[in-house]
């Protein structure tokens, strides 16, 4: 069971019960025992790998992890956008889900989207000209299909967007918002500086994590949209430090 968690990074109780032909009660008990030994981290409905070297996963691999949470977060985020808004969409699987949710809102018009994600640009291509889609430019990264430096800063320094939906790999009460890779970190900082409202979108596995590249303090974020698997104690600690946190039901 531990090997399955380590291979997938995240598994649900129901998946484990099916794979090992055991009851969900037994699967939960086994996961609790492994968590008690510090070998994995229990989250709502399943478990994630713990105490392993952190690695950046390809976009396609990340898309299936916490998919229901990402979809719920995406719909909550999309509801915040109004016709005529200018929005920055960071690269990532959750922000790509936001792009799809925005495209599904047929009543939205004259929305301008800035993004450094080729995936998001392609997702939004069918809604042109109802939306205007601006790609930042830069050097292509394979893992996330993202555009970064060199030449990634030509657009963001010249705009003032209504809001940014920013992805991350970690958000912690003390360490703030962090990211696992350095090339995208500078682009994310520019996005934060270019938007009036700063909204971080992160499934529950990111809450309480601290990664390599510091993006901003929690005081620099207007809202965190996260999922039900987020550690309740960490969520409360974030709120005690003044962060507005919305836990979206899947």
Assess whether 34 and 63 both reside in one domain.
no
Kindly state whether residues 236 and 158 are assigned to the same domain: yes
* Strand (E) or helix (H) holding 138: none
Region 135-156 average pLDDT? 88
Q: Are residues 194 and 80 in the same domain?
A: yes
pLDDT (tens digit per residue) in 78-110: 999 999 999 999 999 999 999 999 999 999 999
At 51 the pLDDT is 54
CB of 116 closer than 8 Å to CB of 133: no
Average model confidence (pLDDT) for the chain? 91
Question: Within a domain: residue 146?
Answer: yes
Q: How far apart are CA 75 and CA 248, in angstroms?
A: 9
Judge if 162 and 45 occupy the same domain. Answer: no
Q: Are residues 90 and 173 in the same domain?
A: yes
Report the CATH number that the domain containing residue 111 is assigned in CATH: 3.40.50.1360
Please confirm whether the linkage preceding 129 is cis (ω < 30° from 0): yes
Q: Are residues 96 and 175 in the same domain?
A: yes
Residues 224, 198 share a domain: yes
Residue 173 CA from chain centroid, whole number = 17
Residue 54 maps to a domain: no
In the numeric block, which tokens belong to residue 116? Answer: 């450094």
On whether residue 174 sits in a domain, the answer given is yes
User: Does residue 69 sit in the same domain as residue 127?
Assistant: yes
Distance in angstroms (rounded) separating the CA atoms of residues 178 and 189: 11
Q: What is the CATH number for 8? A: 1.10.10
pLDDT of residue 55: 66
Structural domain harbouring 23: 2-49
Q: 86 and 131: one domain?
A: yes
The two three-digit tokens of residue 75, written as one number: 């719909």
Q: What is the pLDDT of residue 45?
A: 81
Name the phi and psi angles at 38, rounded to 5: 75, 20
Identify the CA nearest to 142 among candidates 119, 173, 121, 162.
119
DSSP string, 159-216: --EEEEEE--SEEETTTEEEES-HHHHHHHHHHHHTEEEEEEE--GGGBT---SEEEE
pLDDT digits (tens, 9 = 90+) for 26-70: 999 999 998 888 788 887 788 887 655 466 777 777 777 889 999
Are residues 163 and 226 located together in one domain of the fold? yes
Same-domain pairing of 31 and 64:
no
* Helix-helix angle 93-104:67-78, to 10 degrees: 50
Number of domains the chain is built from: 2
What is the tens place of the pLDDT at every residue in 199-238?
A: 999 999 999 999 989 999 999 999 999 999 999 999 999 9
Assess whether 33 and 67 both reside in one domain: no
């Amino acid at each position: 069971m531990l090997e399955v968690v380590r291979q997938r990074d995240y598994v649900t109780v129901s998946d484990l019960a099916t794979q090992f032909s055991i009851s969900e009660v037994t699967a939960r008990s086994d996961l609790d025992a492994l968590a008690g030994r510090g070998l994995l981290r229990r989250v709502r409905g399943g478990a994630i790998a713990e105490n392993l070297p952190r690695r950046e996963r390809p976009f396609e691999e990340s898309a299936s992890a916490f998919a229901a949470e990402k979809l719920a977060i995406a719909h909550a985020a999309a509801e915040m956008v109004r016709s005529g808004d200018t929005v920055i969409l960071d690269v990532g699987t959750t922000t790509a889900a936001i792009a799809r949710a925005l495209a599904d809102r047929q009543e939205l018009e004259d929305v301008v989207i800035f993004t450094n994600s080729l995936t998001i640009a392609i997702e939004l291509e069918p809604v042109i000209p109802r939306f205007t889609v601006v790609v930042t430019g830069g050097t292509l990264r394979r893992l996330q299909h993202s555009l970064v430096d060199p030449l990634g800063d030509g657009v963001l320094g010249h705009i003032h967007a209504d809001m940014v939906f920013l992805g991350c790999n970690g958000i912690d009460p003390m360490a703030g918002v962090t990211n696992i890779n350095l090339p995208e970190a500078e682009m994310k900082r520019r996005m934060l500086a270019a938007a009036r409202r700063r909204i971080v979108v992160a499934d529950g596995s990111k809450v309480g994590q601290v990664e390599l590249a510091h993006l901003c303090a929690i005081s620099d974020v207007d809202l965190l949209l996260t999922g039900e698997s987020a550690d309740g104690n960490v969520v409360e600690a974030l709120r005690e430090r003044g962060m507005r946190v919305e836990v979206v039901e899947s």
